[in-house]
Amino acid sequence: MPLNLRSGRTMRTAIFDMDGLLIDSEPLWREAEIAVFGSLGIRLTEDLCRRTMGLRIDEVVRYWHRQAPWNGPSREQVAEQVLDAVQRLIIEHGSLMEGARDTIADLYAQDARLAIASSSPLHLIKTVVEKFAIDRYFSVLHSAEHEIAGKPNPAVYRTTMSLLEADAQDCVAFEDSVLGVQAAKAAGATVVAVPAPEDALDPGFAVADVVLASLKDFSLDLVPRR
């Protein structure tokens, strides 16, 4: 049976972002970007890295190439260097976010269909779900690498909903970035935002239906009537 919300509405699907939402990987992405772009003479800081949080890696590379064009490796090669570094860091140091495993397991136990819709490439999504043995919970794993544009474009969510054969009004999306919240809202989902503490005051999160400090605080009772 699908989950019944307090409004009487039914939630049949839950769609999760991955980086910074399920896995504490944003610091690892920043570490990789600082190292790789530093080798090209671009001195990034953690705050500068937050400018591109939620974007696909090709869009991150294109952004910094516009800011400070470099000679040497192509943008595609730089993107691969970052991805290789992130994958290694996740395997060696990655950890799930607080409340992530319990939220996933609880929703799955109540017969919700679960999916991941991430800006990360599919091979990285698979690395994460296999490392933490959560792959069995998800019906769909979908990457924005296969879309015409990444978040905040809603394409990754719309395709995920299609693969799930789900109506947007029956979907709850979980996001940690403003760009992700914008993408999920544009796709028609109810949005639960779980921003990092340093980003919690960003006014961009105001469009989310629910804003939480952690996934451990999530309850179906918090999801508002639409």
Please tell me which residue in 19, 24, 170, 176 is annotated as part of the active site: 19
> Which one of the listed residues 17, 24, 170, 209 is annotated catalytic?
17
- What distance in Å separates the CA atoms of residue 213 and residue 201, rounded to the nearest whole number? 11
| Residue 202 falls in the annotated catalytic set | no
Q: CA angle, corner 22, sides to 207 and 5, nearest 5? A: 55
Compute the distance between CA of residue 66 and CA of residue 50 in angstroms, rounded to an integer: 17
The answer to whether 145 touches 166, Cβ cutoff 8 Å, is: no
β-bridge pairing 171-175 and 138-143:
unpaired
Tell me if residue 58 is catalytic: no
Q: How far is residue 183's CA from residue 186's CA, in Å, rounded to a whole number?
A: 5
Of 183, 213, 216, nearest in space to 198 by CA: 213
Q: Catalytic site residues?
A: 17, 19
